[in-house]
């Protein structure tokens, strides 16, 4: 039997790798004073319809539950966040800075960098409409990647703003009904042949291509770039009007993070979605945020071999005389474990040499020999790295280990 | 809009509480040298049919996906573990000691202590058929509860062994086809009136009730009790032949952990399932394990108010002059954050007093005043607890904070 296509088994090394990504994410969020929340993995499907329209049905896992409810495995976290914030908005100091690490699900063709499930760090600032919130979020996205020892030669944040294009479209007299099609055309620029895009853009094509080639000066871009420059982050970002983000609900600044060589899918992406909370709960609340998945990031980290998740060392392996588990040795194991040390031993003690080989293969720091001398309160301990061995009074053992634990 | 019935929103305090449970679980597993794995949340439904028969369909979330696969939200972790182990059994040193913290789903009437989703720590030892593995697992379950500051007055492990009853049934000449019905009768003893149970047990009733009242001596129980006694755990356990566990696949030792007053559902439960891997993958591999959910444990911890999850303190709140964000201050914030400190500030600086009030409400350790003096390399820092204030050279700030960070 196999896992479903697009789903992952996490054997211990993969699980350690995943958990290392999670812990770096959490640590970066802590440094930026974001607090963690989570929500249900299964949600009423209307939560996503409200936001993304019926087109979402084509890409998600949805079904009717035994209570006749139309439900979906969450394809993204933002609608859940919007629902949760909406219900308690007044109770929180603004701006609200929250993060979450949900597992998300999409029914799409599984391919490199795109599975049917992934974990996605979501960082959002709610209750602040100004560009300062977007700058803080872009700053956080950059700092997270720096925390994985990626540098400016590894990634770039490509920033745009939907306001730029909506101003442009308004000036051209294009009716709002056609804006979404326009954004879709821009969104596909790197994936479709130029002629296709030209067809989609119609009479606007020439001017749009010129703008993309040479982004004009624009006050909001100046503010963002200055804000990031002031924080020493100028070299990690550039304005790219080709970024609009696929989702319908973005209203302002949008950005995506890519590896410099363009070998991988987007590492992260986000933007401002000031209308979403109103759509979901009725209250007019500004919000902005980004998501960063574990799959593309993981591919890049593996390729660059930058992070090596390692298992914690075993502190103590207890060696018993062949065939015999001395009761006081078992009690000592329990005492050591309760004192915080990791301890293992053979359930059915065999030859000393074999037990020591297990200690070695478990990468134990110390082998602890329990023999009849434990009745007189004495054990032997071997430092497995230095290959030195000592006799120790049992009642000094924990103190002795505490001084040597790293 | 509400979450689905039986599903939970985790607002920051709830998420902190959940994460604290997770981290204690992980820490205990580390001390016992168990390593973490995980698997897919969605699995082919046959994985569960193989193990539990068709009765499972009544209690789980299952549907047909867009690729016409019959799939289920995992109701338990053991079948996934069996599939994963089976595929790579030969590569691992035995016994295999693994744990996982999956979220599990059941479509049942939501009630106290029983939601439609929960997180469940799963600890398993695979590749060891002897009672020593069961003893180690019971030991771990006890140590986990001790790590939450629960004691022998709070909980008890009730231990039994299906072998005891199968020996009994065999002696009585009861055919194997009727064993499952017998176990179901025993399993329901605490939930159904005595007359119902008597009906279910038929001619065996009188003798069974006597055995339950006065468990006879039996060699395997002696071994388990002696093993736990040797580890100093005798007062946490008792033999209770009324424990058989609902699931069909247990083959040997079984146990459940309850609060002493019997106010709550089982905190944890487990046992030996030596036939399961064979059923799923064909290989004859011994296995034993237990699960501990977050819901009942959480209820007990909340009632006893034993653990108080707390948010980490904010290290530094940066105070800017009213209306002005001095660029060198922004650069300093970025530097502090990259040095590991948690830092926050107001996006649009208002009156000093207001900014200090925010620092206070964020429980900041230090308020850092950035003013024009930063151009000369000097900042003011206020210890928010001691209400003392100092001038400091900017280039000594990180060293100064490092000495005072806890």
- In this prediction, residue B57 carries a pLDDT of 82
Q: What is the average pLDDT across A199-203?
A: 92
Domain endpoint, select from B265, B284, B304? B304
**A68 secondary structure, DSSP code:** S
- Identify the closest residue of chain B to A88 by CA–CA distance: B11
Number of domains, chain B: 2
Contact B333 A231 (CB under 8 A): yes
**B30 inside 8 A of chain A by CB:** yes
Between CA A10 and CA A18 the distance in angstroms is 8
Contact A84 B143 (CB under 8 A): no
User: Rounded to whole angstroms, what are the CA distances from B327 to A234, B330, B332, B342?
Assistant: 13, 5, 9, 19
Between CA A201 and CA A215 the distance in angstroms is 18
Candidate from B30, B340, B341 with C-beta closest to A342: B30
Tokens of B309: 């999850």
70-89 of A, contacting B, C-beta below 8 A: 71, 73, 80, 83-84, 86, 88
Interface test with B, best of A2, A5, A6, A9 (most B CBs within 10 A): A9
Candidate from B38, B47, B330 with C-beta closest to A230: B330
Interface test with B, best of A7, A40, A83, A144 (most B CBs within 10 A): A40
Tokens of B206: 């009188």
Residues B276 and B397 in one domain: no
Q: Are strands B366-369 and B378-383 parallel, antiparallel or unpaired?
A: antiparallel
Between CA A32 and CA A136 the distance in angstroms is 9
Q: What is the average pLDDT across B103-129?
A: 92
Residue B27 domain-assigned (yes or no): yes
Contact B143 A337 (CB under 8 A): yes
Between CA A376 and CA A394 the distance in angstroms is 9
- Identify the closest residue of chain A to B48 by CA–CA distance: A1
Contact A38, B15 (CB under 8 A): yes
Q: Is B287 helix (H, G, I), strand (E, B) or coil?
A: strand
Candidate from B44, B117, B314 with C-beta closest to A41: B117
Chain B residues whose CB is inside 8 A of the A38 CB are 9-10, 15, 18
Contact B11 A66 (CB under 8 A): no
Cis bond upstream, residue B95 (ω within 30): yes
Residue B271 domain-assigned (yes or no): yes
pLDDT higher at A328 or B308: A328
Residues A256 and A398 in one domain: no
- In this prediction, residue A180 carries a pLDDT of 85
Print burial letters for B91-120: b (CB count within 10 Å at least 16), e (below 16): eeeebbbbbbbbbbbbbeeeeebebbbbbb
Per-residue pLDDT tens over the stretch B294-306: 999 999 999 998 8
Q: What is the average pLDDT across A102-117?
A: 88
Residues A199 and A341 in one domain: no
Q: What is the average pLDDT across B281-295?
A: 93
Between CA A7 and CA A14 the distance in angstroms is 13
Chains A, B: CB contacts under 8 A, how many? Answer: 215
Chain B residues whose CB is inside 8 A of the A149 CB are none
Residue B7 domain-assigned (yes or no): no
Per-residue pLDDT tens over the stretch A341-350: 999 999 999 9
Tokens of A250: 């973005």
Contact B330 A83 (CB under 8 A): no
Candidate from B47, B117, B139 with C-beta closest to A334: B139
Beta bridge partner(s), residue B317 = B344, B367
Closest to A163 measured CA to CA, from A280, A260, A50, A244: A244
Contact A4 B281 (CB under 8 A): no
User: What's the whole-number average pLDDT of chain B?
Assistant: 94
On the CB side of A168, CA atoms within 13 Å amount to 19
122-151 of A, contacting B, C-beta below 8 A: 128, 130, 132-133, 136, 139, 143, 146
Q: What is the average pLDDT across A394-404?
A: 94
Between CA B168 and CA A382 the distance in angstroms is 49
Least confident of A180-189, A377-386, B159-168, B288-297: A180-189
CA B81 and chain centroid, separation: 16
Residues B249 and B325 in one domain: no
Closest to B296 measured CA to CA, from B266, B262, B270: B266
157-186 of A, contacting B, C-beta below 8 A: none
Contact A368, A319 (CB under 8 A): yes
Residue A364 is part of a domain; what is its CATH number? 3.40.50.800
Name every residue whose Cβ is closer than 8 Å to that of residue B116 and which is 6 or more positions away in sequence: B4, B5, B6, B7, B105, B106, B107, B108, B110
Contact A208, A160 (CB under 8 A): no
Tell me how many degrees the CA angle B144-B147-B148 measures, rounded to the nearest 5: 100
- In this prediction, residue A160 carries a pLDDT of 96
Confidence of residue A88 (pLDDT cuts 50, 70, 90): very high
Candidate from B83, B139, B335 with C-beta closest to A1: B83
Residue A152 is part of a domain; what is its CATH number? 3.30.930.10
What is B355-387 written as a DSSP string?
A: HHHHHHHTT-SEEEE--GGGGGTEEEEEETTTT
User: What's the whole-number average pLDDT of chain A?
Assistant: 94
Residues A216 and A262 in one domain: yes
- Please, what is the angle between helix B219-230 and helix B131-147, to 10°? 40
pLDDT exceeds 80 at position B10: yes
- In this prediction, residue B54 carries a pLDDT of 74
Candidate from A10, A12, A231 with C-beta closest to B334: A231
Contact A15 B3 (CB under 8 A): no
- In this prediction, residue B283 carries a pLDDT of 85
Residues B322 and B286 in one domain: no
Residue A6 domain-assigned (yes or no): no
Residue B107 domain-assigned (yes or no): yes
Domain endpoint, select from B304, B335, B362? B304
Residues B39 and B171 in one domain: yes
- In this prediction, residue A122 carries a pLDDT of 98
Domain endpoint, select from A254, A276, A304? A304
pLDDT higher at A282 or A291: A291
Which residue has 């289920």 as its token pair? B72
SS (H, E, C) A199-245: HHHHHHHHHHHHHHHCCCCCHHHHHHHHHHHHCCCHHHEEECCCCCC
Residues B173 and B291 in one domain: yes
Contact A227 B73 (CB under 8 A): no
pLDDT exceeds 70 at position B155: yes
Q: What is the average pLDDT across B18-27?
A: 97
Range of the domain at B384: 316-404
Q: What is the average pLDDT across B41-68?
A: 88
Between CA B364 and CA B164 the distance in angstroms is 60
| A249 annotated to a ligand binding site | yes
Residues B145 and B176 in one domain: yes
Between CA A306 and CA A283 the distance in angstroms is 44
- In this prediction, residue B246 carries a pLDDT of 72
Residues A178 and A295 in one domain: yes
Residues A393 and A248 in one domain: no
Contact A19 B36 (CB under 8 A): yes
- Identify the closest residue of chain B to A8 by CA–CA distance: B40
pLDDT exceeds 80 at position B289: yes
Q: Looking at CA atoms only, how far is residue A196 from chain B in angstroms?
A: 30
| A77 annotated to a ligand binding site | yes
Beta bridge partner(s), residue B378 = B393
Residue B116 domain-assigned (yes or no): yes
Cβ of B154: how many Cβ atoms within 10 Å?
Answer: 18
Per-residue pLDDT tens over the stretch A208-264: 999 999 999 999 999 999 999 999 999 999 999 999 887 678 899 999 999 999 999
Q: Looking at CA atoms only, how far is residue A334 from chain B in angstroms?
A: 6
On the CB side of B384, CA atoms within 13 Å amount to 22
Between CA A375 and CA A369 the distance in angstroms is 13
Contacts by residues A180-187 (CB-CB < 8 Å, ≥ 24 positions apart):
A180/A248, A183/A244, A184/A246, A186/A241, A186/A242, A186/A244, A187/A244, A187/A245, A187/A246
Tokens of B366: 């230090």
Interface test with A, best of B2, B13, B14, B33 (most A CBs within 10 A): B33
Closest to A253 measured CA to CA, from A278, A230, A274, A283: A274
Residue B4 domain-assigned (yes or no): no
Contact A36 B19 (CB under 8 A): yes
Residues B296 and B376 in one domain: no
| A245 annotated to a ligand binding site | yes
Beta bridge partner(s), residue B126 = B96, B287
- Identify the closest residue of chain A to B230 by CA–CA distance: A327
pLDDT higher at B13 or B190: B13
Between CA A84 and CA A73 the distance in angstroms is 17
Between CA A166 and CA A55 the distance in angstroms is 23
pLDDT exceeds 70 at position B406: no
Confidence of residue B239 (pLDDT cuts 50, 70, 90): very high
Residue A7 domain-assigned (yes or no): no
Contact B103 A18 (CB under 8 A): no
48-67 of B, contacting A, C-beta below 8 A: 61, 63-67
- Please, what is the angle between helix B131-147 and helix B12-31, to 10°? 140
Confidence of residue A406 (pLDDT cuts 50, 70, 90): low
Confidence of residue B55 (pLDDT cuts 50, 70, 90): confident
What is B263-277 written as a DSSP string?
A: -SS-SEEEEE-TTHH
Q: What is the average pLDDT across B187-211?
A: 92
């Amino acid at each position: 039997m196999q896992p479903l296509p697009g789903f992952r088994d996490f054997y211990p090394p993969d699980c350690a790798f995943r958990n290392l990504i999670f812990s770096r994410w959490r640590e970066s969020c802590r440094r930026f004073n974001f607090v963690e929340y989570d929500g249900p993995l299964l949600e009423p499907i209307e939560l996503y319809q409200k936001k993304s329209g019926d087109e979402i049905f084509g890409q998600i896992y949805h079904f009717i539950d035994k209570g006749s409810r139309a439900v979906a495995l969450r394809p993204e976290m933002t609608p859940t966040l919007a629902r949760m914030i909406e219900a308690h908005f007044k109770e929180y100091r603004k701006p609200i800075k929250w993060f979450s690490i949900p597992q998300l699900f999409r029914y799409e063709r599984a391919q490199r960098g795109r599975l049917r499930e992934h974990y996605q760090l979501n960082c959002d600032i709610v209750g602040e409409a100004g560009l300062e919130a977007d700058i803080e979020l872009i700053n956080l996205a950059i700092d997270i990647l720096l925390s994985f020892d990626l540098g400016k030669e590894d990634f770039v944040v490509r920033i745009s703003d939907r306001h730029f294009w909506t101003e442009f479209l308004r000036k051209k007299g294009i009716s709002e009904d056609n804006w979404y099609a326009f954004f879709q055309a821009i969104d596909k620029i790197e994936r479709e042949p130029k002629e296709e895009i030209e067809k989609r853009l119609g009479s606007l094509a020439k001017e749009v291509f010129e703008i993309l080639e040479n982004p004009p000066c624009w006050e909001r871009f100046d503010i963002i770039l200055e804000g990031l420059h002031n924080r020493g982050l100028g070299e990690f970002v550039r304005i790219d009007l080709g970024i609009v983000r696929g989702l319908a609900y973005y209203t302002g600044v949008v950005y995506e993070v890519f590896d410099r060589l363009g070998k991988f899918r987007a590492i992260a992406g986000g933007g401002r979605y000031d209308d979403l909370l109103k759509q979901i709960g009725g209250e007019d609340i500004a919000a902005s945020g980004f998501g960063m998945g574990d799959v593309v990031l993981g591919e890049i980290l593996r390729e660059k071999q930058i992070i090596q998740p390692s298992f914690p060392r075993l502190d103590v392996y207890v060696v018993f005389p062949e065939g015999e588990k001395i009761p006081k040795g078992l009690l000592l194991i329990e005492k050591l474990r309760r004192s915080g040390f990791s301890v293992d031993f053979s359930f059915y003690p065999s030859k000393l040499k074999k037990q020591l080989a297990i200690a070695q293969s478990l990468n134990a720091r110390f082998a602890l020999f329990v023999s009849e001398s434990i009745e007189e309160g004495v054990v032997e301990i071997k430092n497995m790295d230095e290959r030195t061995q000592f006799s120790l009074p049992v009642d000094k053992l924990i103190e002795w280990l505490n001084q040597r634990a790293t």
